[in-house]
Amino acid sequence: MPLTNLLPWILTAIVASIAAMVSGVAADLPALSWTAAGLYVAALVAVALDINRPWWAHQRAVPDYDSAVSAAIRNARIMMLGYLWGSLALIFIYRLTGLRWQHGIQYAAGMALIAWLIIVYVHFVARPGSILRGPRALLLATRVTLAHAAAALAGTMFLLASGKIYSIKGDWAANQVFLAGGVAVVALSLISAYTQFRLGTLKRGATEPGVGAPSG
């Protein structure tokens, strides 16, 4: 199913999740905000699995660049929705509740910047004839995606190992966003990379026979 058909439901989930998180923080109920964050991440990963699973049916003997470009665009958009949720969650939590953390808006701005950069990437990949649609660009993008996953995994492990996730200071709500967001980044990155593997674009020496226009 095209991502555009699911977009209204995803945006509704973002609003519902953030509303529940703000309510949980305002009422000093960490379990409620944890649940809201976890459910949104689970829903986003479920959407990614639903969209990518058709591409996993058969491993291509010859790279399918038409599908690979479409997959790259859709998976980038899903990742952007994860960062958008994280940015908005931090903004509303630290503006609408009594909780205060001096770096909350800074991290929200950082997440918003990453979301915007992903939008720019999608814009250029979607353009016919773009260099970002070629074999080397897709391979590089997949490597960056896996590096992204490794960084997110390191961050989540640090949160857990350092005990910061159990903080009672003003950053406790932000740490919930960071942990849930980190899990989302790892899962979505691995899904995206596996799709490119199944489509044959990670094969050494692959060449591009021609790429058609992507869908939704």
Structural domain boundaries enclosing 176: 3-198
211 domain residue, yes or no: no
Can you give the pTM of this predicted structure? 0.89
Q: In the 8-state DSSP scheme, what is residue 150?
A: H
The DSSP annotation for 92-149 comes to HHHHHSS---TTHHHHHHHHHHHHHHHHHHHHHHTSTT-GGGSHHHHHHHHHHHHHHH
In a domain, 158, yes or no: yes
Number of separate domains in the chain: 1
**CA contacts within 13 A on the Cβ side of 36:** 26
Q: Residue 203 falls within a domain, yes or no?
A: no
Q: What string of pLDDT tens digits covers the 216 residues of the chain?
A: 677 788 889 999 999 999 999 999 999 899 999 999 999 999 999 999 999 999 998 777 778 888 999 999 999 999 999 999 999 999 999 999 989 988 989 999 999 999 999 999 999 999 988 999 999 999 999 999 999 999 999 999 998 888 877 777 888 999 999 999 999 999 999 999 999 999 988 875 455 544 433 344
Domain contains 134: yes
Question: Distance of CA 74 to CAs 24, 47, 92, Å?
Answer: 32, 11, 27
Q: Which helix (H) or strand (E) holds 210?
A: none
Q: 60 and 200 in contact (C-beta within 8 Å)?
A: yes
Classify residue 215: in a domain, yes or no: no
| Domain annotation covers residue 207 | no
162 inside domain: yes
Classify residue 166: in a domain, yes or no.
yes
Structural tokens at position 162:
């350092």
- In one letter, which amino acid is 19? A
Helix (H) or strand (E) holding 64: none
